[in-house]
Structure 1
Amino acid sequence: MPVPTTTIGAYPKPDDVPLRGWHEAKPEAEQGRHPSDPTRSVRERGRVDAAAEQRLLDRATQEIVAEQAEIGIDVPTDGEVRREHYVFYHLRHLHGIDFENLEARELRQGGWTAYVPVVRGEIRAGNRFLRHDWRSAQQATAKPVKITVPGPLTIAGTIANEHYPDERALCAALGDALNQEIRDLAAAGCPWIQVDEPLFARHPDKAAAFGVDNLARTLHKLPSETHSCVHVCCGYPAELDQEDYPKADPHAYAQIAEPLDQAPVDAVSLEDAHRPADLSLLERFTRTTVILGCVDVARSRVENPDDITSRLRQALGHIDPHRLMAAPDCGLALMPRTLARDKLRALVAGARAV
């Protein structure tokens, strides 16, 4: 029986998209900002006005979605084509966050320092924006298209807070604001909504103490026909084939598995390709679907479909067949587009042979 496939989020942007991911832009300091500032403007507008840019981004998104669907992915994402950063794209649509007066913060558990936006007032939802992103993407295929949003704990770990008394309160405010956007997206008809929470793996103690509660806050009152997912990766490299980049503790998944299984979420996305897990972990998920990472997003080597098939068959020894899906470990944005296509073809071939 074939295992359904999905992608996680970011996809290599078409060359003519006037927006590059922050990890793709490596100039020196721009306009007086620090060179490691991930919020810096990376739009290369030239003579393109806002309306023309919107049309270009719609076309590019549809191109990416159609490509995933043609390869055989069952639940493609919009590819995050519009986003210069998976967190800051969303924060620009919230009130209470200062993008002009940045502050230096250590990120990735002290792995590097960046200048980040600052919470200086009450966080509130702004104008709705994701329903357009989804509607544009969904025009490209009859398959259900998934939209991703960053989760409260991960946002809190990526910005500076000068307003709320502690991280718990900040996350609660973020969850409430995100929930308004997510419920609007679901009301528009979006069939799959994914919350990205990589910091659950890096801080499993915080995830258990208040992270999972705020995940529930974020997904509150979603209609039953909307599939919800939380993505928890263990670390992301700065470049393809980087050696020894920081990763979460290998035991983190085991620490958060049971709280996640009790959360009001339909599926949990876990990486397994870069650092294979003890598959008995899947037995801790008694009701939740597991989206198992079968493609290494940090390596240029293309996976053998037979190896993917074998790993998925092993996984089925620990979870009900109808509760297993296959995906890359994380987003594919670091890769050349040809490599991303080759890896997804291997994923689809491997999953279909199970």
Structure 2
Amino acid sequence: DIPTDGEVRRENYIYYHCRELDGIDFSQLTKKVMRAGTWEAEVPTIVGPIKPRGHFLPRDWQAAQSATDRPVKITLPGPLTIADTVADAYYQDERLLGAALADAINHEILALAKAGCTWIQVDEPVFAREPEKALAFGIENLERCFHGAPPSVTRSMHMCCGYPDMLDNEAYPKADPNAYFSLAPTLDESSIQAVSIEDAHRHNDLSLLEHFTDTQVIFGVIAIARSRVEPVEEISSRLAQALEHIDAQRLIAAPDCGLGMLDRETAVAKMSNLATAAHALG
């Protein structure tokens, strides 16, 4: 099992990191349409060069790691996803902005690796919303995040199809699941070693898994924005179907995304059933 710290310190998974970067002004808000037109909000503005101030995630990792002998995974927001969630009044070039953000993320990843963290994941849900940008420069900048990381680090990335605005909202517009098919070959050829995808909210065509020939697939088998608790048998059945398309050594059972919308009792029930189902399959 590979636990995380649950990101319980974070206001959200993006801005927690952004507050540790010079160049992003949280007092200067700009209205922006994001996630390929599905969401509009007032967001912080980039007003100068992106620079890391120091290191902060090794502290979070050490606190979580002290509570378990399992390897704790730490997650960071990716360059394309950060760029989509702030307003750029400085770079005016998406590729350059992404590279600057990747360098800042790399600064933190190398510090995590030095502290002893062996599972590091960059979250890039915007890849599924903007696959053309992901292929043009997003995957390049994703790899840039891990430059210089030692072999002890498993280089992981996550791309769900969108986090709904409320629990049990089936009408929320998700990303096109075909984006996974367009991204899989390039990700499989990259230096990324594990790719996290969702499958519980909306089942994929499982032939998708055959496009990952070397990469581990972190496979979402519990929905994170539905209150219904998936039975063990349902999870086991989907995992068994997945194993017809990928070898067991490269399939990791997981939630679709983070569990922030769920109450503790529901989250524990879902994760307990996930663990039971996965372990039953060996």
TM bracket (short chain): over 0.9
Aligned to 1:315: 242
Q: Deviations over 1:239-274 (max 9, x none)?
A: 111121010012100000011111211100000001
Matched, 1:202 2:142: no
Structure 1 or 2: more strand by fraction: 2
1:322 alignment partner, SS class: helix
What is the aligned counterpart of 1:87 among 3, 7, 14? 14
CA drift of 1:217 comes to 0.3
Q: Residue 214 of structure 1: CA displacement? A: 0.3
2:74 aligns with one of 135, 139, 147: 147
Deviation at 1:166, TM superposition (A): 1.0
> How many angstroms apart in 1 are the aligned matches of 2:39 and 2:101?
24
Equivalent residue for 1:77?
Answer: 4
Tell me which amino acid in the other structure corresponds to 1:299.
Answer: R
Q: Which amino acid aligns with 2:31?
A: A
Which deviations, in whole Å up to 9, do the C-alpha atoms of 1:331-352 show, x marking residues without a partner?
0000011000000011011111
User: 2 CA distance for matches of 1:243 and 1:135?
Assistant: 38
Q: Deviations over 1:283-312 (max 9, x none)?
A: 110110001000011211110111111111
Query: Which residue is 1:299 aligned to?
Result: 226
| Correspondence list, 1:1-354, <5 A | 74-354=1-281
CA contact (8 A) 2:36 2:130 kept: no
Q: Is the 8 A contact 2:159 2:196 kept in 1?
A: yes
Give, in whole Å, the separation in 2 of the partners of 1:293 and 1:112.
24
Q: CA RMSD in A?
A: 0.8
The structural deviation recorded for 1:317 is 1.1
- Percent identity of paired positions between Structure 1 and Structure 2: 57
Aligned residue identity for 1:149: L
Q: Amino acid of the residue matched to residue 187 of structure 1?
A: K
Q: What is the aligned partner in structure 2 of residue 49 from structure 1?
A: none
Q: Deviations over 1:201-237 (max 9, x none)?
A: 0001111110000000011111111112100000111
TM-score (norm 1): 0.78
Tell me, in whole angstroms, the C-alpha distance in 2 between the residues paired with 1:348 and 1:107. Answer: 35
Q: TM-score, normalised by structure 2?
A: 0.98
Deviation, structure 1 residue 110? 2.4
**Equivalent position SS for 1:170:** helix
Aligned-partner Cα distance in 1 for 2:10–2:153: 23
Unaligned runs of 5+ in 1: 1-73
4+ runs deviating over 6 angstroms:
none
Q: Distance in 2 between matches of 1:277 and 1:269?
A: 13
Deviates more, 1:106-115 or 1:119-128: 106-115
Where relative contact order (Cα < 8 A, 6+ residues apart) is larger, the structure is: 1
Structure number with greater Rg is: 1
The 3-state SS of whatever aligns with 1:172 is helix
**How far, CA to CA, are the matches of 1:173 and 1:250 in structure 2?**
29
Unaligned 5+ residue runs, structure 2? none
Taking the aligned partners of 2:131 and 2:17, their CA distance within structure 1 comes to: 24
